[in-house]
Structure 1
Amino acid sequence: MLELFKKRNFSLFWFGEMISVIGDQISLIAFPWLILQMTNSAALTGLVFAVQGIPRAVLMLAGGALVDRTSPRLMMIMSNALRMLLVVSLAYMISQDTADISIVFIMAFAFGVADAFFYPASISILPSLVSRDELQTGNAIIQTTLHLGMTIGPFVAAFIIAGEIGSAAQSAELVVSDSVLSAYDLDREGLARAFFIDGLTFALSLLSLLFVNVRKLNVEDETSSESSLFKEIRQASLWAWSIPAVRLGFIGMAVIHFFFMPMVFVG
């Protein structure tokens, strides 16, 4: 298994994936926490989960179909660049206290769109980095890395955002102009820092991908017409929706993200 890490292209890709998934988890925590601190509304916190998650789920089929007709590496680079610009811009606006709810929702939606194209590309690029005999091992390494990142990421996000907890607790009784500072005022620095570090993870992932050389695969080009692209998306959507387990899973995840995940943040 460790032999694969001696291959430069696979090692660079693995590093980019590891960093990127941690960035994903930071944003997964930071976006709803930002909304909660700004509004103290469980409903809006659930809505930002939906705004970020629905385009990811709906457009992932389109992302997969488009990746089949373009370069997975280029798609990953573009997605990382967009996500980096989004979170760094949001970090700056938070630090300057110019971010409002509408901006956060727009950026969460755009982030979800970028995710929808990044994930299919990250899956389809692996066969161009390793041999067929190494594909199963390479996929196992990447999947293990993704699950590890999904476990570590939320702790990293919590640690970054909560960096000001000690001072916030001491400042809880601080009165400025006869009014107690809001939780958002106290946590703003931690949230800005979280989004900035999030942007840094995407920058590192992007840089690693720039140095990855992929070999061209010999695949049959059925057709690259625009009509066939939409036809493929439609067929895949109908096929997925026709399977009860997939349909139930999609509905279940939507319900969980909208109704139950806010409770985790509100407590």
Structure 2
Amino acid sequence: MRDSENLTEATVFQDPGALVRNVHGQIAERIGLSIVRGDIAPGDPLPSEVRLCEMMGVSRTVIREAVRGLVAKGLVDSKPKRGTRVRDPAHWNHLDPDVLRWRVDVTDTETYLKKMFQLRRATEPEACALAASEANAEDHVRLSRDFQAMVDAGADNAAWVEADLAFHRSIYLATHNEFFWPIGQLFSFGLRQMFAIAAQGSHRPRAVVEHRDVLDAILARKPDLARAAALTLLGNATSDIDRIRQALASAQS
């Protein structure tokens, strides 16, 4: 077990510089990022409440509120006489936006891309097929608008990324299955880095066609065609990102 009382603010609870709404949110950010980074192992206790107050320069009220937030995210378990201990990652709420963001911050790019593509391949083709069956007129308008924003982005990488994220999020909303919605919300955060890498490539004209194929299949209410179009898009996206990353690495060497 690590001696968590010896952890210092400089080495463990580093301020990530994230924008937060309030003081206890800022403290939760710092502690949460430390937990996800592995500075305190699962099963180990957080420093005592008094020690945390000293390290963070805040009151006990702020610490307690921050810890309550981390309990809600599944990162820690707090019990009388036992203290507050880090839970095994299997119990973390990985769909929580903060937890996801912290995982992205501390995960190497290779692992991050691999896991994101695994999740996309497992969910996105079926989400597209379901959207083709369940989407209503409002969904069709939103998807068409998001796709047009991708076309209008032209060479503007930032605008392309935002439009691309919106398009894929709208697919999950169009399933009208609330169990798919958190995945779409997750991708709003988790795919940003992936899409930012992909935006640097020269494949955009082909990607526009592939997204149009997905859209057309959903609008035509053809689930099998939507599923096939999504699989094609994902297969080429994997190859595109691998090629772009290799080119960037070569340019930097």
TM norm. shorter chain > 0.5: no
Structure number with greater CO (CA < 8 Å, separation at least 6) is 1
User: Could you say which structure has the larger radius of gyration?
Assistant: 2
When the two structures are superposed, what TM-score results if normalisation uses the length of structure 1? 0.30
